[in-house]
Amino acid sequence: MSVLVTRETRVVVQGITGHQGTVHSRQMRDFGTNVVAGVTPGKGGTIIDEVPVFDSVREAVDATHANASCLFVPAPYAKDALLEAVDAGIRLVVIVTEHIPFHDMLVMYHYARSRGTRIIGPNCPGIASPGAAKVGIIPNVVFRPGRVGVISRSGTLTYEIVNGIKEHGLGQSTCIGLGGDPVVGTSFVDALPLFQEDPDTDLVVLVGEIGGTAEEDAADYVRRKFTKPVVAYIAGRSAPPGKRMGHAGAIISRGKGTAETKLAALQGAGAQVARFPYEIPDLVAEIVARGARR
């Protein structure tokens, strides 16, 4: 078992003929992922590293039974690409593309949800379960099969932390990079139940950032429903006060959104809090050593 992806996951790469699409398709295959198809409108019939390319997601699904998509399409075309994937029946889409306008993402998210498709991202590193599959761009070298789940809003900081867990002699069950955009397809609160249900995950490392209230929402969920141990880290404790989204933004996040409020909420929910990324592996190791479940 793993979260969301398995050995049976069949991935279509939208935007496979672009540089990043090609490079990361190769790395996903090196990880062991079944990359069964690529899609680039107008490039149907070509082959990229043995992977057949189609003009549309529908054709790719008909020919290869792809059931997940990894999307590298440039921002101005990403909305259409996502809608196309949903329409073709794809139920998991990882959107790597950055700089997608949030107004587009609102339409993408609500459309996907109405059709039962889960989006991870945008502007995210994706999901990986060592030994099963990777859909996204997290470097293969940081992984080692194990029982630690990782849910993160960051990109490279996720790699740093996952790598730290590996260097400490531990391994990961599944790692999800949610992406740091204002509107994301999967939030902490959406991801936590998946790890709660996963028999291969013993504890979860939650990596947040300042801004928004996703970590406070996560803390609330952990307090009420999550029974596995949580180790949390929030990046940006020393960052200068960010640009606020005007007065209305301050109203929405009243009294939330700073590193202090997030850490306090998570601590209050029973999470072990790491002050720096390099404290995470030790905290994880302590929990593993205790072998205790709350």
Partner 1 sequence: MVKLAEWRGKEVFRKYGVPLPKGAVARSAAEAGALVLDGTVPLPCVVKAQVLAGGRGKGGAVRFAATAAEARTAAEAILGLEFKGERVKEVLLEEKLSLSRELYLSITLDRSARLPVLITSGHGGVEIESVDDAEIDRQHVDPFPGLTSFEKRRVAKVLGLTGGPARSLDRLLESLWRLFQAEDAELVEINPLAVVGDGLVALDAKVIIEDDANFRHPEYAALRDDRTPLEEIAREKDIAFVQLDGNIGVIANGAGLTMATLDVLKEFGGSPGVFLDLGGTDDPRKVTEAFLLMARAKPKAVFLNIFGGVTRCDTVAKGLVDAMGQVPANERFPLVARIRGNNEKEGIEILRAAGVTSIPQLKESAQAVVAAAAGGSA
8 Å CB contact between 163 and 221: no
Three-class DSSP category at 180:
coil
Q: Which CB atom, from 37 or from 183, has the smaller least distance to partner 1?
A: 183
Rounded to 5 degrees, φ, ψ at 213 are -130, 20
Rounded to whole angstroms, the Cα distance separating 253 from 39 reads: 40
Please give the angle made by the CA atoms of 165, 135 and 100, to the nearest 5 degrees: 105
Backbone angles phi, psi at 225, to 5 degrees: -130, -15
Site string for partner 1, 269-288 (x = CB under 8 A): ------xxxx----------
Among 160, 171, 228, 264, binds partner 1 (CB under 8 A): 160
Contact 294, 228 (CB under 8 A): yes
Q: Which is nearer to partner 1, 15 or 212 (CB)?
A: 212
Q: Is 103 a catalytic residue?
A: no
Q: How far is the CB of 283 from partner 1 (least distance, A)?
A: 15
154 touches partner 1 by CB under 8 A: yes
Contact 150, 205 (CB under 8 A): yes
Q: Which of 6, 7, 30, 141 binds partner 1 (CB under 8 A)?
A: 141
* Closer by beta carbon to partner 1, 61 or else 133: 133
Site for partner 1 in 177-236 (CB under 8 A): 180, 182-183, 187, 207, 209-210, 212-214, 217, 233, 235-236
Measured CA to CA in angstroms, residue 3 lies from 71, 191, 200, 276 at distances of 19, 9, 9, 27
Does residue number 116 form part of the binding site for partner 1 (CB under 8 A)?
Answer: no
Task: Pick the closer one to partner 1 by CB: 66 or 130.
Answer: 130
The whole-angstrom separation of Cα 108 and Cα 249 is: 22
Q: Is 227 or 238 the residue whose CB approaches partner 1 more closely?
A: 238
Q: For partner 1, which is the closer residue by CB, 76 or 145? A: 76
* Contact positions with partner 1 (CB under 8 A) in 24-53: none
CA distance 125 to 181: 12
Asked if 115 is part of the footprint of partner 1 (rule: CB under 8 A), the reply reads: no
Least Cα distance to 176 among 157, 156, 152 occurs for: 152
63-102 footprint of partner 1 as x/- string (CB under 8 A): ------------xx---------------------xxxxx
Catalogue the long-range contacts made by 47-54 (C-beta closer than 8 Å, 24 or more residues apart).
Answer: 48/16, 48/17, 48/22, 49/22, 49/25, 51/13, 51/16, 51/25, 53/16, 53/17
158 binds partner 1 (CB under 8 A): yes
Catalytic positions: 247
Interaction site with partner 1 (CB under 8 A): 20, 75-76, 98-103, 106-107, 109-111, 114, 125, 137-139, 141-142, 152-160, 163, 180, 182-183, 187, 207, 209-210, 212-214, 217, 233, 235-240, 243, 245-252, 254, 275-278
